[in-house]
Structure 1
Amino acid sequence: MQLLSVNTAAVERFVATDGQSLHSAIRKRAREGSVAVQPLGLAGDAQADLSVHGGLSKAIYAYPHEHYAFWTTVRQQARVTGALQPGDMGENLTIMGLLETRVWIGDVLRFGDCELVVSEPRQPCFKFNAHMGFNQASKLMAQSGYCGFYLAVRREGTLAAGEDFELLPGPREVGIAELFKAKMRKSS
């Protein structure tokens, strides 16, 4: 398993496809070199709405790179132009080799200099639709299960693109994929 990219963003204003003005830090971009991992997330990263993002249990958001092909295809079908790059799902960590179906609440991602604990799946919101450029993006995330997952910081340190990491199993009682499906059923 590998960390392909470490991504951060400041809160910025952008205009959605319907003309609505939004404030968000969803437009994450890759950082060079080592990035400090702190209890509330990565140095240099922000969240616009702390009622749904951030905090100790949602300090860092990881997303599998394997899902990028799916999003490229559906964006093309929706006639959205522009290539996707790491961070475009709003994730802090673009990872490879670990999908939601293999992750459970309490699992630990051990990197060379820090440890992160899986806390919950991401739930899509209207800002994801706006950022992706079409109004069905959240619905497609819910249907596909390609949600990624939030991480709490167990041991502070640093992260850098290209690092390998290992998965240390937690109690294996609640899986990310199953919890995401249950939350999506409940919210619809």
Structure 2
Amino acid sequence: MNSTPVINQVFAGGLSLLKPEGQSTGMFKQRHNGLVRVALNGLVGDQHGDPRVHGGPEKAVHHYAAEHYPRLAEAFPDSAGQLLPGSLGENLSGQGLTELNVHIGDLFRVGTALLQVSQPRSPCWKINHRFEAEHMSMYVAKQRITGWYYRVIHPGIIQAGDHIELLERPNEWVSIDEFWQVQLSHRPVIEELMALAATKGLAEDWQRRLAERAKWLQKRVGEGG
């Protein structure tokens, strides 16, 4: 990276109800202009509607590239007025970091906190309900503009305007975009799945799922399937 990216906005917040069925969601976050404390489970004061699949130490902080919003607005013009930084439920928003140049295992310093990229975000149906756009989550997934999660290596204080400084990159080939290219492939290469499963810093749940898929494919090949 030629220059150090900056966190433009920080978001956290409580729970709201999602139309039309009233499910609980933490997507409607509030912008914070002052200092925000980052603990091992994420930003203090942040909440999640379904803690079974959101939040926790391996999904502590969600980062989304602000430059994707114009692209989303063009693809979903009826929702363009709502597609602003923070509206996809991210905690950190900025420009200069995207799925193309952020890698699994990257270690960043933000303010006084140390954050490590643990996994991509898997977009879900709540995005469709949030924007009343039936296929938005599928578009986000297929375009590989999902954002990513950090685990918190060292708690600290962050605020808008902080630089996000890359300290360590243990995996040169596994960008978030490359992760999705392998994972979403209709006929993935078994060796690539196994290499992905062994990626240093990848969340254990993804390591397990990828390894199980590779073993299933190996069995099928062995059976002549």
SS in structure 1 at match of 2:38 = strand
Once residues 175 and 85 of structure 1 are traced to their aligned partners in structure 2, the CA distance between those partners, rounded to angstroms, is: 25
Task: Show the 5 A alignment for 1:37-116.
Answer: 37-76=38-77, 79-80=78-79, 82-116=81-115
Contact 1:29 1:86 in 2 (8 A): no
- In the TM superposition, what is the alpha-carbon distance from 1:154 to its structure 2 partner? 0.9
Once residues 42 and 163 of structure 2 are traced to their aligned partners in structure 1, the CA distance between those partners, rounded to angstroms, is: 19
The TM-score, its normalising length taken from structure 1, stands at 0.89
| Count of aligned positions | 181
CA 1:107–1:81: 2 relative to 1, 3 Å: closer
- Larger RCO: Structure 1 or Structure 2 (Cα < 8 Å, ≥ 6 residues apart)? 1
Once residues 26 and 67 of structure 2 are traced to their aligned partners in structure 1, the CA distance between those partners, rounded to angstroms, is: 23
Partner in structure 2 of residue 150 of structure 1 = 149
The TM-score, its normalising length taken from structure 2, stands at 0.75
- In the TM superposition, what is the alpha-carbon distance from 1:46 to its structure 2 partner? 0.4
SS in structure 2 at match of 1:101 = coil
Q: Point out where structure 1 has 5 or more consecutive residues left out of the alignment.
A: none
Once residues 162 and 89 of structure 2 are traced to their aligned partners in structure 1, the CA distance between those partners, rounded to angstroms, is: 20
Q: Point out where structure 2 has 5 or more consecutive residues left out of the alignment.
A: 187-225
| 2:9 is aligned with 1:5 | yes
- After TM superposition, what 4+ stretches of structure 1 lie above 3 angstroms from structure 2? 181-186
**Larger relative helix fraction:** 2
- In the TM superposition, what is the alpha-carbon distance from 1:83 to its structure 2 partner? 3.8
Partner in structure 2 of residue 179 of structure 1 = 179
Indicate the RMSD between aligned Cα atoms, in angstroms. 1.6
Once residues 49 and 84 of structure 1 are traced to their aligned partners in structure 2, the CA distance between those partners, rounded to angstroms, is: 23
SS in structure 2 at match of 1:80 = helix
CA 1:50–1:83: 2 relative to 1, 3 Å: closer
CA 1:131–1:183: 2 relative to 1, 3 Å: farther
Once residues 81 and 104 of structure 1 are traced to their aligned partners in structure 2, the CA distance between those partners, rounded to angstroms, is: 29
- In the TM superposition, what is the alpha-carbon distance from 1:4 to its structure 2 partner? 0.7
Q: Once the two structures are superposed, what CA deviation does each residue of 1:99-131 show, in whole Å capped at 9, x if it has no partner? A: 111111110111231110000000010101111
SS in structure 2 at match of 1:124 = coil
Deviates more, 1:125-134 or 1:165-174: 165-174
| Percentage identity across paired residues of the two chains | 34
- In the TM superposition, what is the alpha-carbon distance from 1:20 to its structure 2 partner? 2.3
- In the TM superposition, what is the alpha-carbon distance from 1:80 to its structure 2 partner? 2.7
Which structure's CA Rg is the greater one?
A: 2
